[in-house]
A and B are shown apart, each in its own frame.
Chain A
């Protein structure tokens, strides 16, 4: 008896020894793999004789097509780009802009999903980049939407990251050239030169973490510009700017546009992706509109007006709204939820200042471009991300940053992150459906001894789950099946069932149809509407698909830059919404902070 703990410890030590040996073996295997993989990836340029004597375009993309496992995202895309030309690329989310750029840069994602069809020519020569580093070496630079800067480095250090000029030290003979010392003076010189080309004020010694966003953006661009021609790489010839103005103030955006013109004059071609259409008209030579993986229009920017572009962008064959809802007079309706000066610090979806009234019994849609903050609203209200401001529900203030209070008040949230927040992946459907209701509302529990013991009511759980499985046509082998074994669409239905089981007065639904097939989509939407009609539950639905919002909502609020730009009745023309999203006034707009 006395010895037993020691034996246990001995056993533990034995098992950890086994684990260590396993670790050792893995290390060996990994070492070998590393050594094999360390063989330098060589750049393969497939050279094709170019017979034409005329001035060749800098970039030509021919018959580009791409599908992700049968899902066609790009079809026969053709365009050319001359040196010094600024090409404005516009299109809704999912139109294929980013996929096209990923193909240009030879991102891993493209290679891993079966490559692409068609041909990319640079200076008339067919090229196939295997990694973005090859693309960089060929003189193509990319400035991303999210900054890839090191916060505790200065502008100069970031601009010259891994391309620092070095001063010789003797130790480098022994330990390799990485033991040469950085040539700080030369670094400042190069970065100042690059900043000068942009004609902006930017302190090269300023720490990135202390910069306003605009300066961060300039730092990124200066980094691309500083890439001078060397014997192994070419100087920057083509710059891709992916929504560089999205985070900038108007003034900052203006100076960026000026800088872009300057660069174009010096012979650098620019592909400019933005949702702000006025900028496109102001700065671009050519406008290319994409929709559903195709190029809809390529026109010279001169003489084009914003409504025209907006129509090209969203002008898909407008489906008739399947279910017209009687638009009620909003003035008389009771406000169920009131958001006041809400801010939410959700990375990538920052909400800055949202005021929004949600009326009892309605379905209100929240739309807008990706990254503008629409997802931040429900996540912040529920308390999943740090938030501030005020929320009133049924006239009472609900404390923020506390999911429990949010749930107790009678609200529920179906997260866009199904697998992370929405589901207990390793548990059965029964557990998933009943979990929140059991935790928050003591439902499905039998009480003994005056509530001292609580026992799960297995029968009630089973019955409820059965009910929802039937109602929403969840395809599963049984209610005992694990959530992770279901398809995406069915998982989404389970998420909804889980929220329905709480019987909330107000339901937030975030991106309910993201990544699920068309059949499942309409079932999910139907379920939401049915729930709204039968039980009168108010629903706030966040979605990036405007048509989907229009088909089920009463009103739609468009969010941009963390604020509500305006609210329109769902029956409004698509083009109106298109205009609103790009920041254009309209007399139909109701409320908002435009």
Chain B
């Protein structure tokens, strides 16, 4: 028996399910006029950010499919991507070959980190998000050890522009001049005066098609099953642990590629910082797009990127115009990303609790039918 809902309840439910997205629509609606940016500028900025960030965010989708929540462990993939970039910068390989090589270097590192992370998450079932978050911090330590002390000392790095003056360790910023925008500029077209990095968008589209196709595969089906109920899946003979590890590995590898695409657009690598907040911003963008811990679709990715980054673009200017301080915008960015994640998580729990109450409503309704 299903519960009959009135129209008002339906509207309430819709609003409840999309609170974060609606909140962002409101912020953007106020922010855009306040910032005073032209439509052309805004659109071109948003296009740049879609090309820059989408790949990273799409990499979050598969662990959600497998019921593992938002994979903050994507930071691991980001580190692998950065290591790949450091090597190709050292070897002086430029352009598309450089990007491809960086991706190839990052893959085995991502796979190894992904397997390791997946195994830990299998020991922390139900607490995947917080565990992967902390794993990210832990791995950051190892990354620093390798990059700050290992590179140049044990791992040969020849280029002086990369190594710190003391002789070992990578500099704070690495100029990625060799591959800068090489993916974006491969096929740049102009539409109504707005530059569109078509090739990057095609790569992202291919990834989206891959995700859609993946859901139809046996592995995708197994992940959906594991995501819904591990015990039922296990009883049917699905290798639950293995499936979960695979989902994290795929996510980590894609995050590595995503990071390379992201950095080729930015053009400089902040060796010790670039990866730190990328997990946080990607997760926040996905949630703004209307995804939840247990469900995320490709449309959530793009809606999220657009709304989240409009907020990013307009908030410094809006802040300046409003109270004369651009810093307000800076503050706003960080505050909002953490806020979005918190609100989404809280709303998710509230909704879960509410849904549990539905069983009771049905029981009460049955009594009415009997009487």
Contacts and interface: CB of A to CB of B under 8 A. Distances in A.
A153 B218 contact: no
* Most chain B CB atoms below 10 A, which of A31, A133, A180, A343: A343
A164 B366 contact: no
Nearest to A341: B367
A27 B119 contact: yes
Contacts of B357: 386
B241 A34 contact: yes
Contact of A350 (B222, B229, B363, B367): B363
A182 B220 CA distance: 9
A170 to B, nearest CB: 12
A351 B363 CA distance: 8
Contacts of B119: 27, 30-31, 34
B107 to A, nearest CB: 13
B364 A388 contact: yes
Interface in A377-436: 386-389
Given A23-B120, A353-B367, A388-B363, A148 B217 contact: no
A182 B217 contact: yes
A440 interface: no
A179 B367 contact: no
Given A23-B120, A27-B119, A17 B141 contact: yes
Q: How large is the interface on A (under 10, 10 to 19, 20 to 34, 35 or more residues)?
A: 35 or more
Contacts of A180: 217-218
Contacts of B235: 132, 148
A386 B237 contact: no
B2 interface: yes
Contacts of B370: 353
B218 A182 contact: yes
Interface string A346-370: 0000111100000000000000000
B359 interface: yes
B295 to A, nearest CB: 9
Interface residues of B, number: 36
A343 B1 contact: no
A549 B320 CA distance: 77
Interface in B204-239: 213, 216-219, 221-222, 224-225, 228-229, 231-233, 235-238
Contacts of B91: none
A179 B366 contact: no
Given A34-B119, A177-B218, A388-B360, A162 B236 contact: yes
B338 interface: no
Contacts of A31: 119
Most buried by B among A23, A149, A157: A23
A341 B241 CA distance: 45
B360 A343 contact: yes
B356 interface: yes
B228 A151 contact: yes
B366 A352 contact: yes
A478 interface: no
B331 interface: no
A182 B221 contact: yes
Contacts of B360: 343, 345, 386-388
A523 B296 CA distance: 57
Nearest to A178: B219
A83 B241 CA distance: 38
B225 A153 contact: yes
Contact of B231 (A148, A166, A386): A148
A389 B368 CA distance: 11
A154 to B, nearest CB: 11
B138 A352 contact: no
A344 B119 CA distance: 39
A72 interface: no
A166 B1 CA distance: 34
A26 B135 CA distance: 14
Contacts of B138: 16, 20, 23
Contacts of B228: 150-153
Nearest to B366: A352
B37 interface: no
Interface string A19-34: 0100100110011001
B120 A27 contact: yes
A182 B223 CA distance: 13
A526 interface: no
B218 A178 contact: yes
Contact of B229 (A150, A343, A353): A150
A169 interface: yes
B363 A212 contact: no
A212 B229 CA distance: 20
B221 A157 contact: yes
A30 B221 CA distance: 27
Nearest to A31: B119
A576 B268 CA distance: 84
Contact of B237 (A16, A133, A353): A133
B132 to A, nearest CB: 13
B116 interface: yes
Nearest to B131: A23
B123 interface: yes
Contacts of A352: 363, 366-367
Given A34-B241, A162-B233, A345-B356, 7 more contacts: A17-B141, A20-B138, A34-B119, A178-B218, A179-B217, A345-B360, A386-B360
12 contacts: A23-B120, A27-B119, A30-B123, A132-B235, A153-B228, A161-B232, A161-B238, A178-B219, A180-B218, A343-B367, A386-B360, A389-B367
Interface of B: 1-2, 116, 119-120, 123, 138, 141, 213, 216-219, 221-222, 224-225, 228-229, 231-233, 235-238, 241, 356-357, 359-360, 363-364, 366-367, 370
Interface of A: 16-17, 20, 23, 26-27, 30-31, 34, 132-133, 148-153, 157, 161-164, 166, 169, 177-182, 210, 212, 341, 343-345, 350-353, 386-389
Top 7 nearest A-B pairs (CB, nearest first) are: A178-B219, A343-B363, A162-B236, A161-B236, A20-B138, A150-B228, A345-B360
